[in-house]
Amino acid sequence: MKKTPLLPLVGTGLSGLVGSKFVEMFAKTYACTNLDLTVGVDITNESQVMKAVEKSPADVVIHFAAFTDATAAWRQTGDKNGLCYKVNVDGTRNIAKAAHAFGKHFIHLSTAFVFDGEKDTMYTEDDATNPVEWYGETKAMAEDIVQNTCSSWTIFRIDQPFRSDVFEKKPDTAHRLITGLTQGTLYPQFIDHWFSPTILEDFSRVLDWAVQDKPQGIFHATSGVKVSDFEYATMIKEALHIDGEIKQGKLAEYLHTINRPYQKNTAMSSEKLKSETNIAFTPLHQALEQLKMV
């Protein structure tokens, strides 16, 4: 039988928590080129990015790379020479400019941290951004750059992503909770902080759809379920039949002990995405049952 040739795809951050799951799941569909130092590309260097994107036969650029440590980012607040700004803002500008210059569709990864977290219900794509800390601010600036630079673009905002397998380099929230539960080291879990976890196996299918269909606009890509930290930890404990008690805590009290702002609610509705794709999204409790133990 004749083998279907792999489709070329060029991107950044394909070795990270989110990008590597997509690469692994679609290894038989795409031949991915990751623009990183191993191929002589630092995304903060405009000419390196331009040359690499020009050379690629791909018609889509997928941009995962980011400075993702929000606490380290907070220590760089306002510093445009800091790595967070350079990677998230300058890096995104370089990749977006290159995608536009060579007529490629641009897929950009963003975050719920572009919101201030003050809304009681789930954020929709129509809500205004209003970041309260530096990581979110740089990611909001990046979103503006994408919209103002590219003629063909998709932005996906994700929240607390997790994958069923263990990503050793940077364990996701779900696996950090499993470690805490099984080792009895879990901190009290907030009952007044909410989010909507993104199931990375589902999100990878969403990315495949976006590469093929090139939808225009912003999409919230989450499980669509709003949970508190306490509810989420309890769901994981029950899904994996782990013994032990989970103590309740309060973000409001924790905030008195630190000197940085924290979004109270980053839950995002995924209704727009669900209405535009034919993807069968996994119920959150079912995805949690698939989690591999650490």
Q: What is 87-106 written as a DSSP string?
A: IIIIIHHHHHHHHHHTT-EE
The answer to whether 131 contacts ligand NAP (rule: CB under 6 A) is no
Min separation Cβ 257 and ligand NAP, Å: 22
Say how far apart CA 43 and CA 12 lie, in whole Å. 8
In the complex with ligand NAP, the residue whose CB is nearer, 131 or 238, is 131
Min separation Cβ 2 and ligand NAP, Å: 34
In the complex with ligand NAP, the residue whose CB is nearer, 2 or 267, is 267
Which residues within the stretch 65-104 sit at the binding site for ligand NAP (CB under 6 A)?
A: 65-66, 68, 87, 91
The answer to whether 19 contacts ligand NAP (rule: CB under 6 A) is yes
In the complex with ligand NAP, the residue whose CB is nearer, 24 or 238, is 24
The answer to whether 17 contacts ligand NAP (rule: CB under 6 A) is yes
Residue 152-191 contact track with ligand NAP, rule CB under 6 A, x = bound: ------xxxx--------x---------------------
In the complex with ligand NAP, the residue whose CB is nearer, 87 or 251, is 87
Residues in contact with ligand NAP, counted by CB under 6 A, come to a total of 25
Min separation Cβ 217 and ligand NAP, Å: 18
Q: Give residues in contact with ligand NAP (CB under 6 A).
A: 12-13, 15-19, 36, 42-44, 64-66, 68, 87, 91, 109, 111, 139, 158-161, 170
